[in-house]
Structure 1
């Protein structure tokens, strides 16, 4: 499937003579690798600016606004959930009305305004409550004005950051015509994203903690504004896709129309189907496929469904064959997408549990430096960065791979490798936690609340490295799969599917931890007296079962062009689709 081929097709069959030729010449000077530094630079800067305040939000709320620890954690959870789920809304707006460039530009500006509000609270003492002093004195609650400025900043910064995440991915992918180039772009898109996360989680967080909250937040503002400038500077080179109305609404119409005609008897006569105002040759060249046959009723013409000019008279009773096939394409991808949710849930649990483990371990590096517990997770990003760079250099199928599998690697192979590495990461987590518990018991620390165990925090790095390498395989692979297999008018929604999956997994991880706490004694307040290793073994089992589910989904999947999963290449090196 070629997303950008539509512009090329318009050039080939244009009817407007010289005007059409000028348009084609203008298109030929756009897109391609000339846009790459603008888009990846934008991603790195905007992720740096967005993650810089978000990573340290709990500490800021506790230290500067005297917020209760539990309340601060709940606010952080809501912010992260919105950060992962709201890209779907941004994608729908981009697909329906504005296009991904406009949505990304507006979102980055909104994010900058939001972080400005946060920076003002850190800069002016009047926008923060007075310090508590000693623990025995009561703390003065923030005023309504102080809370209004704080939460306005948080809301705007979250909305803006979430609107940028995957609209920039679609904007970048639309600049390339070959699947090899698209695959390479997605590798480097995630590389740039992780690079921004690493810089913000280390440099900016250090400045906020050790130098000044105001300076750290204003650096986030600067990163957002520079990122916006870079995005706009590349506009002259971008290929822009024209939104064609609400694609989500068209999918809903197919469902409604098929249910309203559920009593209709289908025949094998292709003339009964509606292909569009200009007939079959302009829309799709074959009748609707036999899969999900009940949806085909939505494209069956009945009396009163069309006007004399063959346009649709009742949109909620008649749809085109292409709209029906678009909905089928989305439905077919959903099982694979659901397997990705259960892939990310163990990762979300591991992230929070790893921080708790780090708090109970020796975090010293030399006599004068202690690793912040939250910074341990940077190893996931670093290992993903290195892996993405290596994967991009080794995308061509190796002779060993061909000898083992008898076929070139596909996008399904890449995602499957990510599943297996995730399971290995959970197993490593269980083994390392077992060692930590043995060390705690050896020193009789099980009855001392979360006392530091004489075991280096560096022991946590192998499990994080495995998960990071796994993310380098399955996250870009999933974005590439959804981008290829979703209908072209849902391109923004397709890339945002990964973000929505992470958001759902984040909330599912919270539910899973609560269930474990209520039904077992594995997660007491004192980790030294618990069995966190059993939680990791449970996550490994869930991951292994989910891998089996993924294999079934991948085996049964057929692409929108009719190819099986074994024929969906990872790049065009393995066989470009026409």
Structure 2
């Protein structure tokens, strides 16, 4: 059998691992960076994973160092309105979360995960460097304009070159993280041999430690960078993530000699196989179900039990002429791969409103906090974006409680090894997200009432005498929600796709939040247009005392409740795909 490396090149050295089957210390199907067979005791495992977890923490530190406080920069130095800034943040965030699909495709088809991580890191550094330049170079910065009416200086609109440079670097960063995110998790899991019992257990722990590590990184970046950006310098606040990614790239390369690289048989790429099934099914749309059954019986082929769903894809088993000639038809295993992916769609669709709710903390939650009393002491004011740290801390604590306390208790009651099913875990998180946005609506209503009582309606920039601590409960509830839903979605989309599609499965998970961000931006745009006519203040008015964010939060609460009911319906109808599922071809 001929093996190819991740970049697609055939190497004789790739065949050698099969010669060492008798040696238990050899890891079959894996080579080192020079294409040589690897020993279990000298490669992979936690040694390699430590490098990869460090890289992932750095990437999350950099990404959230920009995204967590982005709306403040857009409404501040770039002078955008609240609605426009929220739309831009949602558009960028949505693009960022959709690009992992492209990154996974590039990694699986062309570069391989190792090379993709390196390319993504270089693009990250370039993007963050340009972002820093757009904020610090005087020729790209903002200046004061002279106001002839009162002889005072007012901030000028930012030069177009500053805006162009900023958004170019922002979307270059989106491309970089789209290549980075789906590969780091998968490459880290590659360092553990699934056929070895001990390493299989360690692989499960690897994902847990990745979750804890990323939350620690998010907590640090929100506590440190948002303060630097708000009260010291945006240039320094953007430059630190750039330096972190430089160190991360060096750290990743230092681990190269320890990494295991999977080799695989030369075969059609999984994305191509799935696409081929849909194309052939469409071409054969005239073929009836009865004709399909008769032909399969004549071929002595028994349909797989799961194929009772999405039977229209069974038409891909026919050649255009109606004969089952090899090369002209798809195998049953290929059809079942396509069905496995399609089966995820109702769950994916019913989670999109959760993606909308998930996009609120770095946008409207942060803008909400900017209008409230953020002083802890007379001389220390908390950055509004730093409140997001409460969600991250909640995730860190709750994941430990969930793993050590809730799962054993639930396991004793249900008899399920994981305590509850993946879809039950996701649904529980969606329920907590409804509570979070409900609390946000109530707090916003209270803020507006206090502003009216104090006569602040005509003073849009006056701080409302209401402690920002009122926002903490909605962040805590969202953190509990993320502990259930985020990790549940990761496990679900990784587990319920065929083995060749694990990267694509994780990429599909990211698209929930990408599409959710786009939908949030569209929703804000439509509401802004509908409520700002005839000289009225829109729900997202720059005068946040006259606006009505509470109405928007109530709308999200209603949408979340409706989609939660839909999710429960689809979850009850869903049939889990066995981890050991095999297909007849």
Correspondence for 1:381? 392
The 5 Å alignment of 1:522-561 reads 523=539, 525=541, 526-529=543-546, 531-561=548-578
SS in 2 for 1:376: helix
Match of 1:170 among 186, 199, 202: 186
Work out whether residues 48 and 220 of structure 1, in 8 Å CA contact, stay in contact via their aligned partners in 2.
yes
Residue of structure 1 in register with 2:285 after alignment = 262
Query: What is the aligned partner in structure 2 of residue 247 from structure 1?
Result: 270
Residue 170 (structure 2) aligns with: 154
Work out the CA distance in 1 between the residues paired with 2:461 and 2:17.
74
* Equivalent residue runs for 1:51-62 within 5 Å: 51-57=64-70, 60=73
| Deviation (angstroms), 1:480 | 0.6
1:377-416 pair list within 5 angstroms: 377-394=388-405, 396-398=407-409, 402-403=412-413, 405=414, 407=416, 408-416=419-427
Contact 2:284 2:315 survives alignment (8 Å): yes
d(CA) in 2 for partners of 1:70 and 1:417? 31
- Indicate which of 231, 240, 253 corresponds to 1:232: 253
1:197 to 218, 221, 228: 218
Q: TM-score, normalised by structure 2?
A: 0.80
Partner of 2:110: 97
Following TM superposition, by how much is the alpha carbon of 1:306 offset from its aligned partner in structure 2, in angstroms?
7.8
Instruction: Describe how 1:496-575 pairs up with structure 2 within 5 A.
Output: 496-517=507-528, 523=539, 525=541, 526-529=543-546, 531-561=548-578
Distance 1:484 1:519 in 2: 43
Corresponding residue for residue 9 of structure 2:
none
RMSD of the alignment, in Å? 3.6
Change (3 A) 1:206 1:452: closer
Distance 2:134 2:362 in 1: 29
Q: Which has the higher strand share?
A: 2
Return 376-385 or 463-472, whichever deviates more: 376-385
Distance 2:383 2:482 in 1: 23
The change in CA–CA distance for 1:133 and 1:349 in structure 2 (over 3 A counts) is: same
Q: CA deviation at 1:431?
A: 2.9
Provide closer, same or farther for how the CA distance between residues 533 and 50 of structure 1 changes in structure 2, counting only shifts above 3 A.
closer
Q: Residues 272, 165 of structure 1: CA spacing in aligned structure 2 closer, same or farther, 3 A cutoff? A: farther
Separation in 2 of the partners of 1:52 and 1:559?
38
Quote the residue 1:208 is aligned against. 229
2:69–2:362 contact (8 Å) kept in structure 1 = no
After superposition, the C-alpha distances for 1:73-98 in whole angstroms (9 at most, x for unaligned) are 65544432222111111012122222
For residues 229-265 of structure 1, the C-alpha deviation after alignment (integer angstroms, 9 at most, x for no partner) is: 2333334233536485442222121111112223331
**Contact between 1:412 and 1:477, CA under 8 Å: does it hold in 2?**
yes
- Tell me whether 500-509 or 291-300 shows the greater mean CA deviation: 291-300
Out of 49, 69, 81, the position equivalent to 2:94 is: 81
What is residue 570 of structure 1 aligned with on the other side? none
Partner of 1:46: 59
Equivalent residue of 1:289, what SS? Answer: helix
In the alignment, which residue of structure 2 is the partner of 1:118? 131
Structure 2 match to 1:4: none
Listed one character per residue, the Cα deviations across residues 437-457 of structure 1 (whole Å, up to 9, x for unaligned) are 343343344454364322211
Do the aligned partners of residues 288 and 55 (structure 1) sit closer, same or farther apart at CA in structure 2, a change above 3 Å counting? closer
Q: Is the 8 A contact 2:87 2:521 kept in 1?
A: no
Do structure 1's residue 460 and structure 2's residue 471 form an aligned pair?
yes
1:436 equivalenced with 2:447 (yes/no): yes
Match of 1:142 in 2: 159
In 2: Cα distance, 1:158 partner to 1:250 partner: 28
Aligned residue number for residue 3 of structure 1? none
Checking the alignment, whether the CA contact within 8 Å between 1:186 and 1:480 is kept in structure 2 is no
Give the Cα separation in 2 of the matches to 1:384 and 1:390: 10
Partner in structure 2 of residue 293 of structure 1: 311
* Structure 1: runs of 5+ lacking an equivalent: 1-13, 275-279, 565-578
Q: CA offset at residue 368 of structure 1?
A: 0.5
- CA–CA separation in structure 2 for the residues paired with 1:58 and 1:427: 23
Pair 269,461 (structure 1): closer, same or farther in 2 beyond 3 Å: same
Conserved 8 A contact 1:421-1:466? yes
Alignment partners' CA distance in 1, 2:285 and 2:112: 35
Structure 2 vs 1, CA of residues 515 and 258 (structure 1 numbering), >3 Å: closer, same or farther?
same
Q: Which residue is equivalent to 1:26? A: 38
